[in-house]
Each structure stands twice: as C-alpha cells, then as structure tokens.
Amino acid sequence: MRNSARVVPGEGNPVRRHGATVVWFIAFESQRVASAGGLGGAVANLSEELSHEGMAVTVFLPSHGMHLDEGVRERLNLRDTKVALSGARIGDDGSLHPYSIGVEEGSYSGVRYRLFKGLDRVTSRWLDGRSIYGGDEATYQKASLMARALRGYVEGKTVTAEEGSGQPSVIHMHDWHAVPAGVSAWQAFAERGKGMCRPALVFTSHLLGFKRLPWHYVSADWSGLKEQQGGQYIWVDGSFSFRSGFKEVWEAMSGGSFEKFGSYEADFVTSVSQSYLAKEVLGYVGQGIGGKSDFVHNGCDWDYQDMRKAVVKTLGPNEKRGGASLPTRDEVRRFLLEEVLAEKEGRDGFNRDGPLALMTGRFDRQKGVDVLLEAVPRVLKQIPESRFLLLLLPSDGNDSYADEVVKEARALSDNVRLVEGNSANAVYQLAYLASDVYVIPSRWEPFGITALEAMATGNPVVGTSTGGIKETVVDILEDEEGGTGRLVPPEDSRELARGIVSFLSVMMISQGAKGSTGSIAYESLRAAVEEDFSFGAKLRERCIKRVRENFTWAHAARKMDACYRKAGRFAEARSRAKY
C-alpha cells in the first residue's frame, strides 16, 4: 500500500540559494560544438542568454569527436582536464564492459562547456562517434556513458568552484537522451551533500522519441542509477505519492519510457510550445504532471539589417553596384540564383532569376519535403518562373525517404534546387535574405525555429497548422491586421500550393514585377494588395516586428527563469514530503 503526502509547493524560497542561479544543461547537442537541428540552437542560445542574465551555466555533452576539430577547439578554447573517469558496466548477461572517460573543458560567450570523450578504443567508439544520433545502439551507448561520466564527475568532486561551490541550483535535462545522466547526477548530489538542498531537476521535451528499455539499462549495473534506500516521493495528480524507488517509477509508472521517467522524476517539466505540451507531451506522459509543467517558446535573435550588412559584405552582391548602398531584395535574390548557386552547383536550368520559395530543415519525413514537392507543379501552372530552394541537413536513418525525395526533386530540376549537408551552410542566411516566401510543410512540429528565422528576415510563412507553428505564425485569414502568413492542414499539398502562389504574387506585385492579383487565392489578401500595391513590403515589416516583440531569446530566458523558480519550490516541497 502506498502512502500519499498532501504536501504542495508554496511560495517558499526561489531556486537561487547561493546568490546567482547555477544551472547545469545536460544535452546531446549545442551549435557551438555539434548540432543536428533545432535542439542544438536552443541549447546554445538559451544557455548564453541565461548567462547574460547573470546565471552560471555549464553545458555537458558527449564529445561526438568534436574535441578533435581545430575549429571547435579554438572556438571554445578547449583544454584537456587530465581527469579520467573509469569503471566497468555489467551487461544483462553478467559480462563486464570497462570504460574510461576523459573531460575537455572550455567556454563560449560566458557559458562553460564540458565534453566527455573516450580514453580507450571502445569508449571512444561510442562517445567520439561523429554522428550525433547514429542509430539506436550508438545513441543508447552514448547516453549510458554520459550518465557514467556525469556521475563520476560529481562523485569525484571534480566540480569546480566556478560551477557554484560544487553544486548546481538546477539540473536541466534536454530531451530523453539526457535523462539517465541528469537523474543519476541528481542522485549523486543527494548522496554527496548530506544536509544540503538537492538541485531542482528540470526536464524539457523538445521532441518526443518514445524510446523504451528495460530497467537494467538505467540501473547501477549499466548506466549507474542506484536503487534508492527508503524510497521517494513523486508529484503526480496534485500531490506527492510515495514510491519504493527508481525501479518502481521506471517499470510500474513509466513502462520503461525515458520521457515518462524523466517527467515523473523532474521537479518541473517544460516543452517548446503550448500546443506540443498539451497535446503531445501530456498526452503521452499523462495529465497527472500538468500542474508542474509549462511551455517556453524558443527564441530567434536574427537582426534583419545586421544580417544584410554581414552577408552582403561576405558574399559581395553589392560590389558589382559600386558598393554605394545595400542591394534591394530582388537584387540579392538574383545574385543568389544566378551566381552563388550557379557557381556551387553548375546546373543550367535553375540559374535564372524568378520569385523564390525557400525551405530549410532536416531531411526527414517529419518536415514534409515530399509534400512541398507535390505542391510544386500546381505552383508552376500559375507562376512558371518560380524557383524553389531546399537547404536540407541530413537526418540519421532516413536513407530511403531521402532517396525518393532527391529523385522527385531531380524531376523538377528546372525550378527546384535541393542542396544537402554542409553546402547549405554557405548560402543559408543569404537564402533567407533573398527569398519571397518561406515554406514549412511539417507533418508535426513541436516548435519550428525556422519559421521564426523566416519572419525575422521579412518572409511571410506558408506552413502547416500544427504544433508550435500555430503559435508563431499568424494566419492572415484569421487576423488581417497582424497576419504573417497562411496556415494549411498537414499533408494538404493543394492548399499549400494556393498559399505559396498567393504570397509569391503579393511579393512580385510589391517589387514592381509583373503579377496579377487574380492569382491571390484569398479574397481579403487580394483586396489588401489591390488597395496598396506595396502591401508586400508592409507584410515583411510586420513579420520582423512579430519576432522582435515576442520571440527573442531574452523572452525565453525570462520564462525559463520563472520555471526554474517553480522547480525550486517543488523541490523544496518534495524534500519535506516524508516528514
């Protein structure tokens, strides 16, 4: 029979216990080291903004082999700490698996970094593998060794005074990969700091992975999480309920789910949009954690004018104009299409100017690249000269999908250019500055940082009405005065095409190019353009203003700070629950 303690969090003391808040980020990605998508940008930018607000932030990551990259070493001023965290894991068959882990330390923009690397061949195979998510086996191995490393880091008292007298105020786990390390470090601090307040434990679900494994994986045998003596209290359904230990929470409550376990063990849970938290995270974990959860939108600090100056200076489209002034948007677009892409790709059919629709993101079925390609012929029927530029980062484990998409793009090569991998980086910001409309056709999307990047650079967005996109993009059919794009149902290529044609037409007319309001599918938008042919320029300004006033990283940091304070109150109440 389980006891229940009706101890609920009061106002209490905020999470700042010893002056500045000391925060540990546990993650698999950061743009400053290695990144596979939006999570890497969120970890880097949020940690830096929190640091600028006066918090002491340390980011812990697997090295992914990037400690060997000279660019990363220089950027973070990395140095080898000479620390060796060694031991052996026990397999479910009783076999021993020795490991030896080293620590590289550095910093960037006020944020401290600790990279865990392998010191022997087997450990290095996993921790130093360049693919961040190299399939389930590699990811599970990295997450387990990360947990061993962080626990050893705490138990070995290698934590520096810089990191807050040896104990963080908050341990912040980012996505399921960080759960074993975060919970194990939290337990290690509880064992190490008798009489001290435990850190508040925070879990952010950026994108659900739905991964499940048996208890052995996270246990003391493999990842280092010890079964508790005397049990613990878990906050669920409005009160703290007693559980015999981690194993019961893992098996009976979580069914072996990393995300459920992280959510139950955390003092506070966040996600990246209200919609994703309510429908996906709570829908999966359970409404019982709703009272200790909130959403924190990601941010975007792209400044349109600064980007124009920087990108133009680097890539030089104004040099041919004598350098007298910054080029117009259509001149930047022409430079991108007729010179930059021509030089990089060398294909004849695409190297002509035309109204440009841009898509960026991972090469993944989630992102709906195939849906956009299905819409392209419909767009071409009305605007034959339109161009589509797809800058896509590779995504692990989607080779068959990628092959099919590449095949479809090649069939449309006169109007579609697909640029994969690193080659996308050289033209990434230039493409945003050159495009006329941005397309985000995701099947599902927790947040969708690229929609913010698009609006921050003055691009109306045609996106799907899902997840965080609904919270960042304002549908112009629902708000004529504040609309920044058009939201369409997921997988509806016909309506996606209508939206693209409409906004390409708006921008063509605004720039003085030939175009007809008759191709604008939406009556209210058509009327606005007929009343003011420069409406497209005003729409661009509206997009920029929306991001600047609502979605900066400063906004995100303030909201996360509030969540940390709530987590601190839950942590204090939890520590009193047994009395």
Q: What's the token pair of residue 187?
A: 């337990």
| 291 and 247 within one domain | yes
Which pLDDT belongs to residue 340?
85
In a shared domain, residues 375 and 464: yes
Total of domains in the chain: 2
| Burial bucket for residue 151 (CB in 10 Å: 0-12, 13-18, 19+) | buried
Task: From residue 442, give the alpha-carbon distance in Å to each of 281, 490, 493.
Answer: 18, 7, 11
**Quick one: 139 and 195 in the same domain?**
yes
pLDDT at 297 over 50: yes
**Is residue 343 domain-shared with residue 376, that is, in the same domain?**
yes
Look at strands 387-393 and 268-271 and give their pairing.
unpaired
Percent helix, strand and coil across the chain, each to the nearest 5: 45, 20, 35
Q: What percent of the chain has pLDDT over 90?
A: 76
Do the bridges between strand 22-26 and strand 170-174 make them parallel or antiparallel, or are there none, so unpaired? parallel
**Same domain (yes/no): 196, 315:** no
- State the average pLDDT over residues 162-172: 74
Of 44, 49, 3, 48, the closest CA to residue 27 belongs to 44
Percentage of the chain beyond pLDDT 70 is: 88
For residue 515, give the CATH number of its domain: 3.40.50.2000
Q: Please, how many CA atoms are within 13 Å of residue 124, restricted to the half-sphere of its CB?
A: 8
Question: Does 546 share its domain with 559?
Answer: no
* Contact criterion met (CB below 8 Å) for 243 and 253: yes
Whether the per-residue pLDDT at 130 is higher than 80: the answer is yes
Does residue 482 share a domain with residue 367? Answer: yes
Look at residue 396 in the predicted model and tell me its pLDDT: 63
Structural domain including 530 reads: 304-551
Average pLDDT on 312-335 reads 71
Sign of the C-alpha dihedral computed for residues 553, 558, 564 and 566 taken in this order: negative
Q: Report the distance separating Cα 441 and Cα 288, nearest Å.
A: 32
Give the model's confidence band at 362: pLDDT under 50 very low, under 70 low, under 90 confident, else very high.
confident
Query: Could you tell me which residues come within 8 angstroms of residue 405 by beta carbon, excluding any fewer than 6 positions away?
Result: 363, 369, 370, 373, 418
pLDDT at 346 over 80: no
Query: Any alpha helices (H) in 234-294, and if so which ranges?
Result: 246-248, 258-265, 274-275, 282-285
For 308, the token pair is 């124009």
Higher-pLDDT residue of 326 and 460 is: 460
Beta strands in 53-197, from DSSP E residues, in sequence order: 56-62, 79-90, 96-108, 111-118, 170-174
- In this prediction, residue 512 carries a pLDDT of 82
* pLDDT score, position 157: 62
* Residue where the block lists tokens 């050159």: 434
Tens-digit pLDDT profile for residues 62-87: 999 999 999 999 999 999 999 999 99
Taking only the tens place, the pLDDT of each residue in 434-485 is 999 999 999 999 999 999 999 999 999 999 999 999 999 999 999 999 999 9
pLDDT of residue 422: 63
Q: What is the pLDDT of residue 18?
A: 39
pLDDT in tens, 172-214: 999 999 999 999 999 999 887 654 568 999 999 999 999 999 9
Angle between helices 179-192 and 258-265 (to 10 degrees): 30
The tokens describing 458, both together, are: 């003055």
| 560 shares a domain with 537 | no
Mean local confidence (pLDDT), 54-64: 97
Confidence of residue 20 (pLDDT cuts 50, 70, 90): low
- Give the pLDDT score at 427: 84
Window from 189-193, 358-362, 486-490 with minimum mean pLDDT? 189-193
Residues 364 and 397 in one domain: yes
Name which of 178-192, 269-283, 334-348, 364-378 the model is least confident about. 334-348
Token pair of 456, please?
Answer: 């921050």
Q: Are 375 and 442 in contact (CB under 8 A)?
A: no
pLDDT in tens, 248-278: 999 999 999 999 999 999 999 999 999 999 9
Which of 188, 63, 184 has its CA nearest to residue 125?
63
Handedness of CA 464, 470, 473, 476 (dihedral sign): positive
Residues in the chain: 579
Is the confidence at residue 10, as pLDDT, over 50? no
Q: Which of 145-154, 297-306, 422-431 has the lowest mean pLDDT?
A: 422-431
d(CA 390, CA 366): 15
Residue 235 has a pLDDT of: 95
Mean pLDDT over the full length of the chain: 90
pLDDT at 357 over 80: yes
What is the model's pLDDT at position 134?
83
DSSP class of 225:
B
Most confident of 229-243, 333-347, 537-551: 537-551
Is there a single domain that holds both residue 274 and residue 172? yes
150 with 13, same domain: the answer is yes
HSE, CB side, 13 Å, CA atoms: give it for residue 245: 11
CA pair distance 528, 517, nearest whole angstrom: 10
Q: Which residues contact 76 (CB under 8 A, 6 or more apart)?
A: 32, 33, 106, 107, 108, 113
Q: Are 284 and 428 members of one domain? A: no
